[in-house]
Amino acid sequence: MKKIYKIIIVFFLSMIILTISGCSNKKNVQEQIETSESNSSSSYKNPIIPDGFHTVETETASWNKQDDGTVEGWNNGLVIEDDKGNQFVWIPVNTDDLDYYKEKSIKNIDDSIIKNGGFYISRYEAGNDNEKIVSKKDSKVWININYTKAKLISKDMYNTDKVKSALCSGIQWDMIMNFVNEKNDGRNEVFNVKIMDTKRHTGNLLQSGKNESDRVQNIYDLEGNCSEWVAEKTNIKNEPYVNRGGYFGNKYGTAASARNSNGDREYDRKSFRVVLYVM
């Protein structure tokens, strides 16, 4: 009888060990996603939803989990929203490309991008709601603002131990271009904006997100409405600051366009865009 009890005990102990071993091999939702795109193997990470934000389902990007635990719409422009209605889009960054971005960037890539495998970008150009910044559709676009003020306002939008914000940098703009153009290696100096299938408008300034034709991966107004200040400087003495994207007064501008400007001046065709870092 004792021998039978010993056999039963050994059996149950074996089952417990197998169960623990199986659990340790399950993929955490924040771990890497292995994907294969156009003959290249790429590694991405599932997006992290920061405290104080909730997910937003869109027609093109769903937060539903797949059988393997990955987020279904991770590569289609996942949207989050805070309790005030400000919306942001997840920009996945291929971990294999981070070394390239580090070499290209004058400043270090933010640690949270490396840790999380991406960052959030405001879905809309900065809106001006009684001198408070918003990222909402149909907002009054914040223009007539110089580089220094745009950088300061961006930094002050979120500043907690969980989430911080900043003015989008030039290298992050390149990451966005790489994402919306569905490039695979992250090393493209020239972007084929035609495949984005967007259409800028010309003639006058619109409210944020008004032009549905200028929406790609759930991000609005990259090819217009305004060109946007980015945290990047050049060695050009009189115009050392950079703005990116197209704007309503230039029919030849593209989402990847880069121009130099005087950062102390305020322009009626320049706005800015905020990035979020999940700490």
Could you report the per-residue pLDDT of 64-102, keeping only the tens digit for each? 999 988 899 988 999 999 999 999 999 998 877 777 777
Q: In 3D, which of 129, 143, 88, 95 has the Cα closest to residue 115?
A: 95
Asked whether the beta carbons of 229 and 247 are under 8 A apart, the reply is no
**pLDDT value at 3 more than 60:** no
More confident residue, 197 or 51: 51
Share of the chain above pLDDT 90, in %: 52
CB atoms within 10 A of CB 183: 18
**pLDDT value at 153 more than 50:** yes
d(CA 173, CA 171): 5
DSSP 8-state code for residue 259: E
Per-residue pLDDT, 198: 59
CB atoms within 10 A of CB 202: 13
Provide the CB-side half-sphere exposure for 170 (13 A, CA): 19
Per-residue pLDDT, 200: 66
Q: Are strands 132-134 and 163-167 parallel, antiparallel or unpaired?
A: unpaired
Per-residue pLDDT, 106: 52
Per-residue pLDDT, 246: 87
- 101-105: list long-range contacts, CB under 8 Å, 24+ apart: 101/171, 101/174, 101/175, 101/186, 104/171, 104/174, 105/169, 105/171
Share of the chain above pLDDT 70, in %: 76
Quick one: pLDDT band at residue 201, thresholds 50, 70, 90?
A: confident
Beta bridge partners of 258: 244
Which DSSP string do the residues of 110-152 spell out, in sequence order?
PHHHHHHTEEEEESSSPEEETTEEE--TTPPB--S--HHHHHH
Positive or negative, the Cα torsion across 172, 178, 184, 185? negative
| Tens-digit pLDDT profile for residues 109-120 | 778 898 899 999
Per-residue pLDDT, 249: 86
Per-residue pLDDT, 251: 76
Per-residue pLDDT, 68: 85
Q: Taking residues 195-205, report their average pLDDT.
A: 68
Phi and psi angles of residue 35, each rounded to the nearest 5 degrees, phi first: -130, 160
Quick one: pLDDT band at residue 199, thresholds 50, 70, 90?
A: low
**pLDDT value at 12 more than 70:** no
Asked whether the beta carbons of 110 and 121 are under 8 A apart, the reply is no
Per-residue pLDDT, 40: 35
Q: Taking residues 136-159, report their average pLDDT.
A: 98
Across 44-48, 164-168, 250-254, the highest mean pLDDT is recorded for 164-168
Per-residue pLDDT, 202: 78
Whole-structure pTM value? 0.82
d(CA 204, CA 276): 29
Q: In 3D, which of 264, 233, 242, 226 has the Cα closest to residue 148?
A: 264
More confident residue, 186 or 239: 239
Quick one: pLDDT band at residue 271, thresholds 50, 70, 90?
A: very high
Q: Tokens at residue 60, please? A: 């093109």
